[in-house]
A and B are shown apart, each in its own frame.
Chain A
Amino acid sequence: MSMQRLEFLVKLERLLEGIPDSERKEIMSDFETHFEEAREMGKTDEEIVRSLGSVQSIADEIIEQYRPHAAPSGGSGEEKPESGERKEPFQAGGLNFDLPNFGHSSPERDLAYGHVGAAIHAANIMTDMADVFTESYDGDTFAYRFDSSDPEQYEVIEEISHDTYNIKVMLRRTGAKRFFSFISSAGADLHVRVPQSFRGSMRLHSNSGDVKLRYLQNEQLHIQVNSGDASIENSSIGLLRIDAKSGDVEMENCRFGVLEAEALSGDLAMENVAAQRAHLKSTSGDMELEDVEAGELVMELLSGDLNVRDGRGVNWSCSTASGDVKLVRIAADVEAASASGDVAVQDICGTLRVDVKSGDIRCAIGPDTGACYIDNVAGSIDARLASSIRQMQLEASALLGDLSLNVPLLQRRKGSDGFFEGGIGEGGPLVRLSTKVGDVNVKMD
């Protein structure tokens, strides 16, 4: 599925959050069918999205019908509006499974549902003390395989309820085992196969155990891992949310509409990932990003380090409290802030804003770097200018430190102790370097 299609569908679904679930699903399926049909007619997703018009106005028209007073009178009987409130499919903690009749169902029984993949719009996977492997396959039913050297210890429950596929792996915690299960557990693997046609929303909750996902195409995916690592590869997801409490998060070869990832104490790594919008957070872990494309990208770290190489986008920002930041070869407007970490930037194609309180700043400014505003309070600034720069305006100040400029061709207009204003040639981007208690060094390669 193309990004345009995903983006359209995800946005529409989000805008329709306020209407009853069943109605929203029906509308979503109207639009999904529209895409399929228009594709049959040889149109590209881009053309289809363009002729569908604004998502907002479509949603507005639908929501209009749910206003009080606009309520349908004498309906056809086909619509059964539920209570106006939207039923939240998941509890915040994720542990309260709202399924009254959790029965055992054999794979044979599931096959009796026929084209399950097409009729299923949501999937929930919950596990405890097991690793989970989820990937799509060329079939039309959900299927699972459970491997454990001590299967007696586990209870596996699979069920299809309305349009939702549920699978749950629980450890039989009885007596002492209840407390010591983490010692005696034999470990287990749950493999879940997702039909290729499944595009709905999926939720995966692992209490303890790693989670690995591959080749998925979902509208929405929410992964929650309490203690274990999460990795997702070769997938295309409209809206992905990952919450990892103590494990690492890894993403590789993926396309996302919206990505929200949070690793509390683990590291976060991304390679060859594209997203329209991404928000990454970590508390004590590091972030390592390579070959990343994102229109809007926000990276928030507390004590971990951030390392980004080869990125493309529009507006990027990152902040750390005590970790270091290193950004290399980024084509985007970049803002980097750190309280006490060091910041190093190199080959930025776009504007650059750096704000540091007490770390050191090193930056290499190239001919494609736009305006730079580099501010420090109690640390030094080292700026290296590429020799190919022909035009640039420079303002540098070191209030209580030394200012040294080693740049041929630099012409001074104003200046005094610890302050310089001038430039190379006429015009060009403004580079402003300022620190209060620290040195400023500028040199040209």
Chain B
Amino acid sequence: MNVQFKKGALELCVLVLTYEQDRYGYELVHRISEKFLVAEGTMYPLLRRLTQEGYFSTYLKESPEGPSRKYYKLTETGETYMREMMAEWSRFSEGVDEIIMEVMKA
């Protein structure tokens, strides 16, 4: 898969998952790697970049099992950004679907 394309898609997944609720790093990595083959390690730079760009704020919370966890919370800017990306994604995937349908029906 094209690298830039994959990055964008992963970014969107992460944004959507945190929109649902605050999530900690490993949880996000785990949820994503269940669906796609990704180098898990590159998820952390991604989370970091989104944080630096102001789409996430972070806080630490004790976990019952192990070390305390860093949670990512979607900020308002983050939510706006997520909606923009979702709209773009829909346009894109609808376009792809249409082409596939046109060809495969014929």
Do A and B make up one complex? yes
Chain A residues with a Cβ under 8 A of chain B: 27, 30-34, 36-38, 40-41, 51-55, 57-58, 61-62, 64-65, 72-79, 118
Q: Which residues from chain A contact B46 at a C-beta distance below 8 Å?
A: 61
Contact digits for B58-80, partner A, Cβ 8 Å, 1 yes 0 no:
10000001110110000101000
B52 in contact with A51 (CB, 8 Å): no
A33 in contact with B42 (CB, 8 Å): no
Q: In the complex, what residue of chain B is closest to A53 when comparing beta carbons? A: B39
6 tightest Cβ-Cβ pairs between the two chains A and B: A53-B39, A52-B41, A61-B45, A37-B26, A72-B52, A58-B41
Q: Is the interface of A mostly helix, strand, loop or mixed?
A: helix
A65 in contact with B45 (CB, 8 Å): yes
A65 in contact with B48 (CB, 8 Å): yes
Q: Which residues from chain B contact A57 at a C-beta distance below 8 Å?
A: 39, 41-42
Q: Which residues from chain B contact A52 at a C-beta distance below 8 Å?
A: 39-41
Q: How far is the CA of A308 from the CA of B77 in the complex (A)?
A: 63
User: Which of B48, B53, B67, B69 is A62 in contact with, Cβ under 8 Å?
Assistant: B48
User: Which of A34, A54, A64, A73 is B26 in contact with, Cβ under 8 Å?
Assistant: A34
Q: Which residues from chain A contact B42 at a C-beta distance below 8 Å?
A: 53, 57-58, 61
Q: Which residues from chain B contact A53 at a C-beta distance below 8 Å?
A: 38-42
Query: When A and B form their complex, what is the total count of cross-chain residue pairs whose Cβ atoms lie within 8 Å?
Result: 89
Q: Which residues from chain B contact A27 at a C-beta distance below 8 Å?
A: 44, 48
Q: In the complex, what residue of chain B is closest to A72 when comparing beta carbons? A: B52
Q: How far is the CA of A331 from the CA of B29 in the complex (A)?
A: 41
Query: Closest Cβ of chain B: how far from A98's Cβ, in Å?
Result: 28
Check A36/B67 contact, CB under 8 A, given A74-B54, A75-B54, A76-B57.
Answer: yes
B51 in contact with A79 (CB, 8 Å): yes
Q: Which residues from chain A contact B69 at a C-beta distance below 8 Å?
A: 33, 37
Q: How far is the CA of A52 from the CA of B69 in the complex (A)?
A: 18
Query: Closest Cβ of chain B: how far from A24's Cβ, in Å?
Result: 12
Given contacts A27-B48, A36-B67, A58-B39, 7 further A-B contacts (CB under 8 A): A33-B25, A37-B26, A37-B66, A38-B26, A53-B38, A53-B39, A79-B51
